[in-house]
């Protein structure tokens, strides 16, 4: 599950009809100056890599036939005119020989008009229609020039690929970085990078000095934007509307921009957006519209006039995340399970050689306030809380309010009309209203409800009471069901000021060797 922030929503009347989640990063060459959320994942760079793949060939681009190199940095739609020119450029004998070494599948054109015509003429796929055709031909040309093998140029250990990784490390300013790869759709290795690293790379594209190989690539892209994408493609349109801007689409849901230097940003900017709705580039363009407008650039906001657009971030402003502390205050007044060890804090030292210094110790049950139980609390195993993975207690969660009578059980039927939208569920029952007074008639969970949650992918269940089992229970069926399902428990949380909805939970237990439980400092933040 992607764990990140909303970028924008489209409303039809009062109803939120479309919501786009994702990440945006802006880099000025020295640091990240804006990011839309605290979470930054790593993704295959895919076609955003093409300018750097061409750079790594070392080919001389300033030639009489320089147009031949433009589609190497693009993902062309393969219009009829584009394909005709490609065939013209690669009709000589040497090109035909390179074509025989091409490790690229044949496709039909992405351009709708040409695709329809190709289908009417028999629908024969061709490598000339592939968005990565020119890039592969450039790599093969570099292999021929350098004397590298043409038979395995798609392998990650090939000299060309090693040269690409050196190029990326140099641009990122980190010679020691280990670059992971996955196989792209065109069979070439695709580096897996963070969005901040991708944004840094596009900033280097924006700031490259005149007469350098990278500036030659930037000039090719800005001079022939229609060859970077094609008619009505987002990257082409953004470049046509903004002089000097480089834009490049990448699968899936990536869009990279190299913003030319300005008075405010003398080294230019690199901007990368990743949306989590797949290859929907019009949505990616909408997502970065506030940033482009704040830079005085022309944005691309293409959506139905029946919709109302609402953004969930402010460009170049750090987002303030509201936080709810759902832990009761630990003190000797905090109620514990009847007969259990109450919390006690003793001061052992208050002064040291005339200076103020406080040292204290505590004695307490581990099942105190907001806490999590370990498997060995109810099961005959040695596994204590120190063996529980911390990631279980951090991530997206959903607060669900359920009203039951005193001492009632939350059953499966109470949940079947609820939409389970997160892997951590916290139940707000309002049945243990005062953490400093123990009432025995709190609401708890049935084993059937736990089974239902497990079947819906839930990994943690929490409740605003001292236990997920009833006070009178002796065999603790909810606990046993949770642990047999490999789930985790969070008890004793305070949810009186928290509304139903989705949040990010942090409630990491202490690493207590063989501990049967651990107090936690539990809090929620807005997603």
Residues identified as active-site: 377
Residues in the chain: 527
Cβ pair 51, 248 in contact under 8 A:
yes
SS (H, E, C) 230-278: CCCCHHHHHHHHCCCCEEEEECCCEEEEEECCCCCCCCCEEEEEEECCC
Helical (H) or strand (E) element with 452 = helix 447-455
d(CA 356, CA 169): 51
Which of 386, 478, 474, 376 shows the shortest CA–CA distance to 427? 478
Give, in order, the Cα–Cα distances in Å from 130 to each of 142, 248, 257, 454. Answer: 20, 17, 23, 44
Direct distance between the N- and C-terminal alpha carbons of the chain, in angstroms, rounded to an integer: 13
Cβ pair 485, 452 in contact under 8 A:
no
- Paired residues of 423 in beta bridges: none
- Paired residues of 501 in beta bridges: 399
Only one residue has tokens 């295959």, namely 44
Phi, psi of 243 (to 5 degrees): -60, 130
Residue 151's CB is within 10 A of a number of other CB atoms, namely 11
Helix (H, G, I), strand (E, B) or coil at 460: strand
Helical (H) or strand (E) element with 80 = helix 80-89
d(CA 416, CA 185): 40
Virtual CA dihedral for 306, 311, 315, 317, nearest 10 degrees?
160
- CA pseudo-torsion sign 70, 76, 80, 83: positive
Helix (H, G, I), strand (E, B) or coil at 39: coil
* Helix residue ranges per DSSP H, 342-430: 412-415
Which of 414, 395, 430 shows the shortest CA–CA distance to 508? 395
Cβ pair 164, 53 in contact under 8 A:
yes
């Amino acid at each position: 599950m992607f764990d990140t922030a909303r970028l924008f929503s489209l409303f039809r009347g009062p109803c939120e009809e479309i919501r786009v989640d994702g990440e945006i990063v802006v880099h000025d060459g020295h640091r990240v100056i804006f990011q839309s959320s605290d979470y930054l994942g790593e993704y295959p760079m895919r076609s955003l890599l093409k300018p750097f793949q061409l750079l790594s060939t070392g080919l001389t681009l300033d030639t009489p036939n320089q147009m031949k190199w433009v589609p190497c940095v693009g993902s062309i739609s393969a219009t009829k005119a584009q394909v005709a020119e490609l065939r013209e450029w690669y009709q000589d004998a040497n090109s035909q020989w390179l074509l025989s070494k091409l490790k690229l599948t044949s496709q039909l054109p992405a351009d709708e008009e040409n695709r329809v015509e190709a289908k009417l003429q028999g629908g024969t796929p061709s490598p000339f229609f592939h968005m990565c055709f020119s890039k592969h031909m450039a790599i093969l040309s570099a292999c021929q020039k350098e004397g590298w093998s043409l038979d395995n140029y798609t392998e990650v250990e090939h000299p060309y690929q090693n040269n690409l990784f050196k190029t990326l490390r140099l641009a990122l300013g980190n010679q020691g970085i280990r670059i992971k790869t996955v196989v792209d759709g065109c069979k070439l290795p695709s580096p897996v990078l963070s969005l901040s690293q991708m944004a840094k790379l596009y900033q280097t594209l924006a700031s490259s000095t005149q007469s350098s190989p990278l500036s030659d690539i930037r000039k090719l892209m800005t001079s022939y934007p229609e060859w970077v994408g094609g008619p009505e493609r987002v990257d082409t349109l953004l470049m046509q509307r903004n002089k000097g801007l480089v834009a490049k689409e990448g699968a899936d849901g990536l869009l990279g921009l190299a913003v030319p230097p300005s008075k405010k940003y003398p080294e230019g900017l690199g901007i990368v957006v990743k949306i989590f709705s797949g290859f929907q580039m019009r949505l990616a363009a909408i997502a970065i519209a506030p940033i482009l407008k704040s830079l005085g650039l022309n944005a691309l906001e293409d959506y139905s006039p029946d919709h109302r657009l609402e953004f969930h971030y402010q460009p170049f402003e750090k987002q303030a995340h509201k936080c709810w502390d759902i832990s009761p205050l630990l003190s000797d007044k905090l109620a514990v399970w009847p007969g259990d060890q109450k919390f006690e804090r003793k001061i052992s030292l208050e002064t040291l050689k005339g200076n103020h210094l406080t040292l204290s110790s505590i004695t307490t049950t581990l099942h105190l306030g907001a806490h999590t139980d370990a498997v060995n609390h109810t099961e005959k195993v040695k596994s204590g809380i120190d063996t529980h993975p911390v990631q279980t207690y951090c991530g997206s969660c959903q607060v669900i309010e359920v009203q039951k009578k005193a001492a009632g059980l939350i059953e499966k039927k109470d949940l079947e009309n609820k939409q389970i939208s997160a892997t951590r569920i916290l139940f707000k029952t309002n049945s243990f209203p005062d953490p400093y007074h123990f009432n025995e008639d709190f609401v708890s969970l049935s084993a059937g409800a736990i089974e239902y949650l497990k079947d819906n992918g839930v990994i943690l269940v929490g409740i605003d009471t001292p236990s997920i089992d009833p006070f009178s229970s002796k065999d603790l069926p909810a606990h046993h069901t949770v642990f047999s399902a490999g789930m985790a428990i969070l008890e004793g949380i305070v949810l009186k000021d928290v509304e139903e909805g989705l949040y990010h939970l942090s409630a990491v237990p202490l690493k207590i060797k063989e501990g049967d439980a651990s107090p936690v400092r539990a809090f929620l933040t807005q997603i």
